[in-house]
Structure 1
């Protein structure tokens, strides 16, 4: 009789723990959550099968009550704050990179522009972008627009 109780309690507890782990740590429906539901269901079914219908009803009710309380406190309390991301990234890409290029300056593509690639201006490599057309490598290009960190070029004909 004691072994049946231990089996039922272990199946239900492991199932509920897996469900909480799936809800808190693993987004979406995954194998962990499904396995948790299956184990909890097997625990409840095993309780009905071995301990009888009245005890099975009590096990079912306690499982629903304990799972509701566990879900409520796991999402309500500050217990999960140590796992939460509290920092924000406020930097930008290439902030330290300042080019000294001018409109109309010419250079040669190092790689093909599809529409982005690399080009050499004043013996320095720069990431450049065409207006959408394909420009093959070793083509002379001219800067037609400069934004903060974006260099727009066109092929010189």
Structure 2
């Protein structure tokens, strides 16, 4: 009887400890949380099988309360904010330098434009796009529209 209690308490204790570690330190579903759940379930099952139904209900209730408190504490302690993305990427294409390109200027594509890609104008690479058509690499292109950092080109026939 004492060995049954020690087994049940040990399995549930280790299982809940692993679940708490999962909730607070290792977010997401990992092997730690799954193993903790399995150990806790086995502990409750042994409690029902070895100690009786009434004692099994009490063990299950206490286990669920402790797991609920651990879940509540993990959100209350702001442990999840360490894993949240707080920075914003504010970079834009062609923002490193202001281009000096003019409407009608001609260049050559470096990559395929599907409809975006890279083109070479005055020995400088620029991110460009077409009005929807695909352009093969090494095709002559002409600038048809400049809009802030967007360079719109068309293939020269």
State the TM-score bracket (shorter-chain normalisation): 0.7 to 0.9
Q: CA RMSD of the aligned region, Å?
A: 2.6
Distance in structure 2 (CA, Å) of the matches to 1:123 and 1:63: 69
| Deviation per residue, 1:97-135 (Å, 9 max, x gap) | 321111111111122222122211011111211111121
The number of aligned residues is 154
Residue matched to 1:88: 87
Relative to the length of structure 1, the TM-score reads: 0.80
Relative to the length of structure 2, the TM-score reads: 0.80
| Per-residue deviation, 1:151 | 1.2
Q: Is the 8 A contact 1:119 1:126 kept in 2?
A: yes
Distance in structure 1 (CA, Å) of the matches to 2:27 and 2:116: 38
Structure 2: tracts of 5 or more residues without a match? none
Structure 1: tracts of 5 or more residues without a match? none
Of 107-116 and 88-97, the range deviating more from structure 2: 88-97
Structure 1 consecutive aligned stretches of length 4 or more whose deviation exceeds 6 Å: none
